[in-house]
Amino acid sequence: MKNRWMNAKWIGLISVLMVFLSGCGKNHLSTLRPAGEVGQEQFNLMLLSIIIMILVILVVVVLFTFALTKSRRSKVGEDFEPKDVAGNHTLEVIWTSIPILLLIILAIPTIYFTFKQADTQAMETEDGELNSEEVIVNVTAHQYWWEFEYPNQEVVTSQELVVPTDTKVYFNLHGADVKHSFWVPAAGGKMDTNIDGINSFYLVFDDEKAQDSERLFNGKCAELCGPSHALMDFKVKALPQEEYDQWLADMKAVEEPAQASADDAAEGQGIFNNSCIGCHAVTPQGAGAQGPNLANFGDRDLIAGYLEHNKENLVDWISDPESLKPGNKMTGAYDLSEEEIDKVAEYLMGLNVEEGSGDVSALEEDDEESSEEDSSEEGGN
Amino acid sequence: MASATKKRGVGPVIWDYMTTVDHKKIAILYLIAGGFFFALGGIEAMLIRIQLAVPNNDFLSAGLFNEVITMHGTTMIFLAAMPLLFAFMNATVPLQIGARDVAFPFLNSLGVWLFIFGGIFLNLSWFMGGAPDAGWTSYASLSIKSPGHGIDFYALGLQIAGAGTLISGINFVTTIISMRAPGMTYMRMPLMTWTTLVASVLIVFAFPPLTIGLFLLTFDRMFGSSFFLVETGGNTIIWEHLFWIFGHPEVYILILPAFGIFSEIFATFARKRLFGYSAMVFATVLIGFFGFMVWAHHMFTVGLGPTANAIFSVATMAIAVPTGIKIFNWIFTIWGGSIEFTTPMLYALAFIPSFVMGGVTGIMQAAAPADYQYHDSYFIVAHFHYVIVGGVVFGLLAGLHYYWPLMFGTMLSEKLGKISFVLFVAGFHMTFLIQHFLGLWGMPRRVFTYLDGQGYNTSNMISTVGALMMAVAVIILLINIIITVAKNQKVGRDPWGDGRTLEWSLPLPVPHYNFAQTPLIRGLDAYWIEKKENDGKMMPAESLDDFHMPNNSIIPFVISLGLFVAAFGALHFASGKEWAIDAVSDLPQHPWALWVLILGLAIVFISMGVRSWKDDLGYYVTKEEVLKDLEEQERGAK
Amino acid sequence: MANMEYNVPSERWPAHPETATLEGKNKFIGFWTFLAGETALFASLFATYLALKDSVPSDDHLLAADLFQLELAFVMTMFLLTSSLTSVYAVYHMRNNNFSKMQLWLGITVLLGLGFLALEIYEFIEYTHLGHTFRSSAFGSAFYFLIGTHAFHVCIGLVWITLLILRNAKRGLSVYTAAKVNTAALYWHFIDVVWIFIFTIVYLLGVM
């Protein structure tokens, strides 16, 4: 009997080891491949706890196996009458105090990192204003898409978060309809986007690690938020500081909706302006819209957050969003013919933000100006 | 009046069970109903695993998948695990303490019927417009937005079933405090009784917060209040707190009685008294106490701030200490014993490494910053299945085999039992071990599908195959039960041969009054002492005389039915009303809803009034009747 | 046969008739356990109220300080406190085997309870006229749920005690009925204690 059971255990163990050896998951989405300071600290804490716990498991399994093999009835004999032992004071003290010691070893770094990772003081200046020196992103989670606003630069985008590497990126998290949870596994743990208030935390993306995963990380919604919870993915593009600044400047430079050049696309723009613009903005401003901002749609890597970025998928999505993301808010909000959809898709695929069009230095000046304005207002009050 | 030996037709038997107040029959009701819901929850589990076997699967649609996971969790926790534990508590505790019944037999019956009607109501949602789909935790923002009546079924069904649980909890606390036989001091109570006592105290304090939480949800969805509606000042985090103030102790409500079952089994099949009995009792009480102070570790990512997170981290780690004490004491119970590998013992032995693994991942999650990664990922799914399946379900299966002769007077087949054990344990590890890694590789929980190319495919397939093995194991168990019932080979007193506690001193089947004479308890493992030091018969603490037993009653059934009816009224009350939340304001109006609600509540209150008005003084079992039974047992033994 | 056991002659009337039988003792322990659960229930309600007491959708909604009249709440408190005292008298006479006085004091308890309930209904009607309703705001929902749950307990208590007075009128006092009366009295005290917390936390803190 016992042998069969042990065999099952061995087979289980070996299969587990095989899976384990096959890797620690993918660079762009595994918590075991931390891509920055926060994720690394959490990973270290995991390792510490795993080491302690493997120690515990070993002790238990050794004692257990020993007791089991030593005391089988087939071994000790049918007539063996075990001695009743009430207990052992020394043993009780040992297996109470050693776990306490182990837990203290785990508790100290836990407390330290809990406070360290909750430190978002730098988001505000001393007088309670938004700190323009820091990278701050306001994240608003919707059923089933993400809006990212850069309040210091007044730039809005959606579905693809762009962040600079090697610096702390601060997030303000909020849920627009129901509770979601913002999670970039490779960069660090998640935090909920409550509908009752705003949560803040920070992540860091190492430049080297970003290069290992082609500068793209996967983000996920980690709180059940409705039928399409599983499809509420987003991408994180981690760029070096200069490229990030340039991207922001480019976005900032878009003040008018881009004019479509091709005929089809131009027609599509007209249809879009009639049927879609109520929810979707095509300039990177105006946080809090009903639908995702599409200003740089043509540059994105995914359609609807999870499909490959091509026109075919886009047409499918606009034709029948319900079949691709059940429960979404777009279904039934418009009535377009196949032909019209094709033209709108043509127009959207061409919505690029021209690289290098923006002036980075203007961005900085703008920041200073706005902060000066803010402070003068403050003084006026 | 109730000498149950005569052959009777189906009708009278059903009526007997509907009106019974006998804890042994109520145990069977709990076992049947709980077993039914366990099968239902198991089918739901299989649907989940089939859907997730391959990426981009469309076996279940997204919405249906959410209904299935919600009902799987809710059914398994509230309608399967807890009632099945109640089955064993009812079957054993009064016998273990030498009582003729529980303190409140009427309430015992009310408890089981409330659970059954609550469970039926919840599951009717499948046929009446869709099941709840916001997860078993039913977090407020999503549960308020969820269209249709699914969540209403959840709130009302759990309210009814929860009331039954609370009543049963009060009943067991009183029974154990008040009904112990002479000599049965607290420190001589078997561990099963101790864990039942602590779990019942937890029920008394943990279920009221759930009651309030469910009321808030009910009022918001059905009566237009705004507890969770942010626009009118509501706050959804209140639900999370109330739910987990209930939810965490609930974990211990489930695991403690399972610990009790294991403790009995280890001592019996190692032929050795429980090692460190007083430490075990102390640890049980301590776990119960800590259980109330750690609820926010389910909410580390909610944004409660570092101070709260740090405090709850440390408090959670502290729970590991008493749990560790228990594990080591069990190991030292079998150490130096004479282990017989019966099916219940195999489950108990498999429990130790399985539960330790679930326990250590629990401590890993107690480290808040690391939990930011684990939280709501498949790591969590793996963890709580390790503790709930590896702890509670193993305990239930062990208990089922161990207490089967006590409840039915027959023995389950050991051969089939061992086959299903091997399949179940191997399948269990295969299903859930791999899920730890899925979580660490970034797979969130409660996803209806996953995309190809994320490295999740093989692992999910392994998990599904493991789940299939568990399903086969349960089917073999069912076959075992059917064969055993069909054969109906009766066994006599102390069928395992090594029974230590009082319940095994009784003849099988146990007479409806349990003890002809209340026994005198001379120490821990009361029956074992008499076997070793005496002739193996319990000493009586009273002379043979007439004694008093409670009457059967249909009122508990009627009260439960009344609440069941009222729930339909409440369910439709807000449909189509202009003040209602968006989720139900588009539904057709039901003007009769209010009247059904009133009718149901009227049935409840009138039944309660009748109960209060009538004198229910019970009846007497006469000395002659008992003597006749004793003679029969004597003859049967020969 | 059974009645003989419960009907104790007055010379052997026990000092604590309510716990003289095993059933009576069970009732006593069980009911205290139930009250422990009720405490957890009201604790959750108070927590909910405290979390939502200042939560209204806009500034034109009335808050605690604008609504509550301490005088009225004080009179209500007096009604309920006195009724608790009268129920103590009833239990006192029950222990002295004085059936008619017990019934009388139970009756007075019910009357005082009714007075309390009438004032509470008046209070609710007033608030409703001022626009403070169950559906007007989270504060309103939490307020009416907390006070309403208490009021519901008062109603249950009143019906229960009335039913006992009526049913026992024919049966008289025995160790069987004594246990019932004692349990109802315990319940009534609990309701009173909860009200003291409501008076402090909701009304006193509300207007301060």
Task: Count, in order, helices (H) and strands (E) of chain A.
Answer: 11, 12
Give the separation between CA C89 and CA C102, rounded to whole angstroms: 7
What the block records as the tokens of B63 is 């919405």
Q: Give the CA distances from residue B57 to residues B43, B50, B62, B166, B432, in Å, rounded to whole numbers and listed in that order.
A: 18, 9, 10, 41, 20
Tell me whether B213 touches chain C (CB under 8 Å): yes
Cα dihedral B387, B393, B397, B402, rounded to 10, equals 60
Find, in chain B, the residue whose alpha carbon is nearest to that of C23.
B103
Find, in chain A, the residue whose alpha carbon is nearest to that of B274.
A86
Task: Count, in order, helices (H) and strands (E) of chain B.
Answer: 22, 2
Find, in chain B, the residue whose alpha carbon is nearest to that of A79.
B338
Give the separation between CA C74 and CA B469, rounded to whole angstroms: 67
**Contact: C51, B223; criterion CB under 8 Å:** no
| Contact pairs from chain A to chain B, CB under 8 Å | 322
Q: Is residue C148 in a domain?
A: yes
What does the DSSP 8-state code read for residue A151? Answer: T
What the block records as the tokens of A289 is 């819209």
Residue B420 has a pLDDT of: 96
Residue A15 has a pLDDT of: 60
CA angle, A25 as apex, A19 and A31 as ends, to 5°?
125
What the block records as the tokens of C150 is 């208490």
Mean pLDDT, residues A250-259: 85
Q: Is residue B1 in a domain?
A: no
Among A18-32, A159-173, A252-266, which range has the highest average pLDDT? A159-173
What does the DSSP 8-state code read for residue A130? Answer: B
pLDDT tens digits, B174-223: 999 999 999 999 999 999 999 999 999 999 999 999 999 999 999 999 99
Q: Do chains C and A touch (3 or more CB pairs under 8 A)?
A: no
Q: Is residue C59 in a domain?
A: no
Q: Is residue B74 in a domain?
A: yes
Determine how many CB atoms are found less than 10 A away from the CB of residue A312.
Answer: 11
CATH of the domain at B88: 1.20.210.10
The strand pair at A145-150 and A155-158 is best described as antiparallel
Q: Residue B424 burial (CB < 10 Å; 0-12/13-18/19+)?
A: buried
Residue B165 has a pLDDT of: 96
Give the separation between CA B431 and CA B425, rounded to whole angstroms: 10
At A161, the amino acid letter reads L
Tell me which residue has tokens 């259980």: B291
B513-544: burial string, b at 16+ Cβ within 10 Å, e else: bbbbbbbbbbebbbbbebbeeeeeebeebeee
Q: Is residue B2 in a domain?
A: no
What the block records as the tokens of C55 is 């939560």
**Contact: A99, B321; criterion CB under 8 Å:** yes
Please count the CA atoms within 13 angstroms of the CA of B181 that sit on its side-chain side.
31
Place A259 in a pLDDT band, splitting at 50, 70 and 90: confident
Mean pLDDT, residues B585-591: 90
Residue A76 has a pLDDT of: 87
Q: What is the mean pLDDT of chain C?
A: 92
Q: Give the CA distances from residue C184 to residues B394, B442, C16, C106, C169, in Å, rounded to whole numbers and listed in that order.
A: 43, 57, 15, 10, 16
pLDDT tens digits, C75-100: 999 999 999 999 999 999 999 999 99
Closest CA to C77 of C195, C191, C190, C156: C195
pLDDT tens digits, A333-342: 899 999 999 9
Q: Residue B15 burial (CB < 10 Å; 0-12/13-18/19+)?
A: middle
Give the separation between CA B411 and CA B395, rounded to whole angstroms: 18
Q: Which of A9-13, C39-43, C179-183 shows the lowest mean pLDDT across its residues?
A: A9-13
Residue of higher predicted confidence among B139 and B618 = B139
**Contact: B579, C56; criterion CB under 8 Å:** no
Cα radius of gyration (chain C):
20
Tell me whether A379 touches chain B (CB under 8 Å): no
Give the separation between CA B572 and CA B217, rounded to whole angstroms: 15
At B316, the amino acid letter reads T
Residue C1 has a pLDDT of: 36
Mean pLDDT, residues B238-260: 96
Q: Give the CA distances from residue C127 to residues A112, C26, C57, C130, in Å, rounded to whole numbers and listed in that order.
A: 50, 43, 17, 5
Considering only the beta carbons, identify the residue of A2, A111, A196 that sits closest to B236: A196
With a cut of 50, say whether residue A1 has pLDDT above it. Answer: no
Chains that touch A (3 or more CB pairs under 8 A): B
With a cut of 80, say whether residue A106 has pLDDT above it. Answer: yes
Closest CA to B404 of B356, B347, B322: B347
Closest CA to A220 of A326, A305, A163, A321: A305
pLDDT tens digits, B516-571: 999 999 999 999 999 999 888 899 998 999 998 999 999 999 999 999 999 999 99
Orientation angle between helical segments B306-334 and B277-290, nearest 10 degrees: 160
With a cut of 80, say whether residue B374 has pLDDT above it. Answer: yes
Cα radius of gyration (chain A):
28
Place A23 in a pLDDT band, splitting at 50, 70 and 90: low
**Contact: B425, A196; criterion CB under 8 Å:** no
Find, in chain C, the residue whose alpha carbon is nearest to that of B103.
C26
Residue A286 has a pLDDT of: 81
Place C60 in a pLDDT band, splitting at 50, 70 and 90: confident
Q: Is residue B56 in a domain?
A: yes
Q: Give the CA distances from residue B398 to residues B3, B109, B284, B389, in Å, rounded to whole numbers and listed in that order.
A: 31, 25, 20, 12
Residue A16 has a pLDDT of: 58
Give the separation between CA B99 and CA B86, rounded to whole angstroms: 17
How many Å from the N-terminal Cα to the C-terminal Cα in chain C? 62
Q: Taking the alpha carbons of C117, C121, C122, C126 in that order, is the dihedral positive or negative?
A: positive
Residue B49 has a pLDDT of: 97
Smallest CA–CA distance, residue C40 to chain B, in Å, is: 6
Which residues contact residue C204 at a Cβ distance below 8 angstroms, ignoring those fewer than 6 apart?
A: C70
Cα radius of gyration (chain B):
25
Give the separation between CA B478 and CA B470, rounded to whole angstroms: 12
**Contact: B234, C141; criterion CB under 8 Å:** yes
At B506, the amino acid letter reads L
With a cut of 60, say whether residue A146 has pLDDT above it. Answer: yes
CATH of the domain at C45: 1.20.120.80
Q: What is the mean pLDDT of chain A?
A: 87
Mean pLDDT, residues A140-147: 94
Judge contact between A252 and A175, C-beta under 8 A.
no
Residue to mutate among B301, B345, B361, B445, with most A CBs inside 10 A, is B301
Domain count, chain C: 1
The three-state DSSP-derived secondary structure of A64-94 is HHHHHHHCEHHHHCCCCCCCCCCCCHHHHHH
CA angle, A70 as apex, A69 and A74 as ends, to 5°?
80
Expressed as residue numbers, the domain containing B585 is 10-637
Q: Is residue C184 in a domain?
A: yes
Smallest CA–CA distance, residue A381 to chain B, in Å, is: 29
Structural domains present in chain A: 135-367 (2.60.40.420)
| C65-72 CB contacts, 8 Å cutoff, 24+ apart | C65/C206, C65/C207, C67/C127, C67/C130, C67/C132, C67/C206, C68/C202, C68/C203, C68/C206, C68/C207, C70/C203, C70/C204, C70/C207, C72/C119, C72/C122, C72/C123
With a cut of 80, say whether residue A261 has pLDDT above it. Answer: no
Q: Is residue C139 in a domain?
A: yes
Residue of higher predicted confidence among A4 and C130 = C130
Closest CA to A53 of B162, B356, B401, B296: B356
Query: B519: which strand partners?
Result: B540
Q: Give the CA distances from residue C87 to residues B391, C107, C117, C183, in Å, rounded to whole numbers and listed in that order.
A: 49, 9, 17, 11
Which pTM was predicted? 0.94
Instruction: Please state the ipTM of this predicted complex.
Output: 0.94
Residue B7 has a pLDDT of: 62
Residue to mutate among A229, A302, A322, A329, with most B CBs inside 10 A, is A229
Q: Is residue B489 in a domain?
A: yes
What the block records as the tokens of C171 is 């049966």
Residue to mutate among A52, A224, A236, with most B CBs inside 10 A, is A224
Expressed as residue numbers, the domain containing C172 is 38-53+64-207
**Contact: C163, B170; criterion CB under 8 Å:** no
Q: Is residue B4 in a domain?
A: no
Percentage of chain A exceeding pLDDT 90: 59
Which residues contact residue A179 at a Cβ distance below 8 angstroms, ignoring those fewer than 6 apart?
A: A192, A193, A194, A195, A223, A225, B139, B141, B142, B236
Give the separation between CA B250 and CA B202, rounded to whole angstroms: 8
Residue B386 has a pLDDT of: 96
| A273-278 CB contacts, 8 Å cutoff, 24+ apart | A275/A334, A275/A335, A275/A336, A275/A344, A276/A334, A276/A344
Domain count, chain B: 1
pLDDT tens digits, B405-459: 999 999 999 999 999 999 999 999 999 999 999 999 999 999 999 999 898 999 9
Give the separation between CA B35 and CA B33, rounded to whole angstroms: 5
Judge contact between A346 and A312, C-beta under 8 A.
no
Determine how many CB atoms are found less than 10 A away from the CB of residue B289.
Answer: 15
Give the separation between CA A289 and CA B90, rounded to whole angstroms: 58
B612 contacts in C (CB within 8 Å)?
160, 163-164, 167, 180
Residue C75 has a pLDDT of: 95
With a cut of 60, say whether residue A18 has pLDDT above it. Answer: no
Tell me whether B547 touches chain C (CB under 8 Å): no
